[in-house]
Amino acid sequence: MDITERIAAAETQLAETFKTIAETALYNQEKVLRAFQNNKLAMRHFSPTNGYGYDDIGRDTLNRIFADVFHTEAAIVSPSIASGTHALTLGLFGLLRPGDCLLSIAGMPYDTLEDVITGSGNGSLRDYGVQFECVALREQSFDFAAIEKKLQTHPKVVFIQRSRGYSWRNAFTVEDLAKAIALAKKISPQSIVVVDNCYGEFIETREPTDVGADVVIGSLIKNPGGGLAPTGGYLAGKAVYIEQIGYRLTAPGIGCEVGSYAASYRPFYQGVFMAPHVVSQALKTALLFAEVFRGLGYETLPARDGQIGDIICSIRFAAADQLIGFCQAIQKASPIDSFVVPEPWDMPGYAHPVIMAAGTFVQGASIELSADSPIKEPYIAYLQGGLTYEHGKLALTACLETLAHTA
């Protein structure tokens, strides 16, 4: 079977799943459209501001639209947030105080959060007297018995990372999250449930806030930016918690009353409007890669008929050189910097050398087609994004041709 036939066969197998993805995108597109219409979005909201940014209607309306989309009381959407890790740091520092306990119930958080939580001498939560507890996953899922025991201590914040990070597991679906959140609210109702929603927005018709999460946090250069937002992050949830986080974003007593943006807000509005469609393209790309590589004998996630909680495809390779070669093939198939050959390097915040293929219009935007991995066993490539499904197919073809030439 040649490459074209193999891809066509995979698409046939995925036809019903692709149909469901299209239906979800339509539902989410209508949800976003209604949020725009209900907030009477107009051209004036795109206008830049400067200085303090008092009465910045572009900023304030964008906040309200995100709150509507996530069915929450309030939201912060800010170009000043540099990354998903930065957004999560704002949320955790805004909600936690010395002596409080942060409980992660989905195992250790993503690598870049470790220094934020447990670092020493760098201004981490630990340095400020915040305790940290963690419940490891059991068979790639929540260990409900262990979580119930830990909840007896009534932690201030219960933290859940929705996506897989650099681990071999499926991302959590909203239904998975609903069960864990329900347990947390039953045992420790005063705890604040915070969900790291990165890579999970618009995957389903529901978001974590629809099933009881108090705050969701994410990056605008991932799903909700639709490939157009040039930077930024968001936090959405109950008004009392968003207000506290706003004081960390700027200053106590000032919060979200200030904050200007000297460029146009249009890319942020247009990005979230495009997001349901773009996420569907990325999700189809991830599933196609998983299906084709599975057919070639590789272990992959997610399965066609399994749970789908994010836009990531995990592919397990036998050796480091195979993993590196795969990422280099993704870079070669990129629209930007296709001539660059990525190599593993010591990235800030990571315990192992990391290779990152990201020929993207927005630097580091993982809603655009990209692949990365720490160079350690097991050798797993994490592929994500794809602004168009067509580009995903072309990149897959290029990867398969590279494999054929090196076999």
Query: In degrees, to the nearest 5, what angle opens at C-alpha 138 toward C-alphas 136 and 140?
Result: 100
Q: What is the pLDDT of residue 165?
A: 86
Contacts 24+ apart (CB under 8 A), 113-118: 113/85, 113/88, 113/89, 114/349, 114/351, 115/349, 116/85, 116/88, 116/89, 116/92, 117/92
- Rg (alpha carbons) of the chain, rounded to whole number: 21
Q: Please write the tens of the pLDDT for every residue from 223-240.
A: 999 999 999 999 999 999
Whole-angstrom distance, CA of residue 103 vs CA of residue 70: 24
Q: What is the pLDDT of residue 407?
A: 60
How does 374-403 read in b/e, with b if 16+ C-beta sit within 10 Å? beeeebbbbbbbbbbbebbbebbbbbbebb
Consecutive H or E run containing 133 = strand 131-134
Residues near 339 by beta carbon (within 8 Å), at least 6 away in sequence: none
3-state secondary structure of 119: coil
As given in the structure block, the two tokens for residue 100 are 């409080």
Q: Which amino acid is at 334?
A: S
Consecutive H or E run containing 317 = strand 312-317
* Residues in the chain where the model's pLDDT stays below 50: none
Contact 69, 30 (CB under 8 A): no
End-to-end CA distance of the chain: 16
Whole-angstrom distance, CA of residue 91 vs CA of residue 233: 11
The pTM (predicted TM-score) of the whole model is: 0.96
Q: Which amino acid is at 72?
A: T
Q: What is the pLDDT of residue 402?
A: 84
